[in-house]
Structure formats: C-alpha cells, structure tokens
Amino acid sequence: MTAAPDCLFCKIVAGEIPAEVVHESARTLAFRDINPQAPLHVLVVPRDHEPNAAASAEADAAMFAEIATSARAVAAGEGYDDYRLVFNTGAGVGQTVFHTHGHVLAGRPMGWPPG
C-alpha cells in the first residue's frame, strides 16, 4: 500500500484518525463525510494514495472502477437506489484533500448542473 505521510485520508485508512466507516473492500474504504451535504454523504477512497481521480484512473483502472462498485454498495446498504457520485479533481473545482475520493450523495433532490 502506498501512503503519503501528511495525507488526512491516508491516516484514516491506516486507522490513525477515527472515521465512521460504512463499507470496506480490499482496495477501498468508505466513511461518512464530517460535513454532509445530503442525508447520505459518504466518501469512498482507495487505500493507495493518488492525488486525484485522474491520477487514480491512469495508475490503476481496475481500482478506480472499484470505487464505483463500492459507491453502489454504500448507497444500496443505506437503502438508496438513486445516488450521485462526484469526484473533484483539482483545487479549482473544490478538491481540498488531495487523495482520490468519490462523494456518494443521496436522499434529497439534486439539480443539474451541479455547483
């Protein structure tokens, strides 16, 4: 497993910082967002560190697909058939933790376009 020493999400994956974990797979960890934007707001992160979704998809497409599979499992486990999966890639679009993570959002109407 690759980790970045100062990465918040790497520390959560390692168990150094507590989080409310709702789903785990061999290569992902899903936990509740501390500032939820919907009744369901869970972050799905790869256990290996990559700075953003584009880097993760390039480094390991199968692992990136597992993020989507884990997101589906999270939504279903919480009783939602409809959900939104969001990746922010770069500070200019709101990424604040530079470890790939997908936001699983559900439980309220969501407009389009987002943002």
Beta strands in 1-115 (DSSP E): 21-24, 28-32, 40-46, 84-87, 102-106
Question: What is the C-alpha to C-alpha distance for residues 13 and 7, in angstroms, rounded to an integer?
Answer: 10
The DSSP output letter for 51 is S
Q: How many CB atoms lie within 10 A of CB 90?
A: 12
Is the CB of residue 35 less than 8 Å from the CB of residue 68? no
Kindly name the residue from 23, 49, 99, 101 that is annotated as catalytic.
101
Q: Is 101 considered catalytic here? A: yes
Task: Give catalytic residues, as residue numbers.
Answer: 101
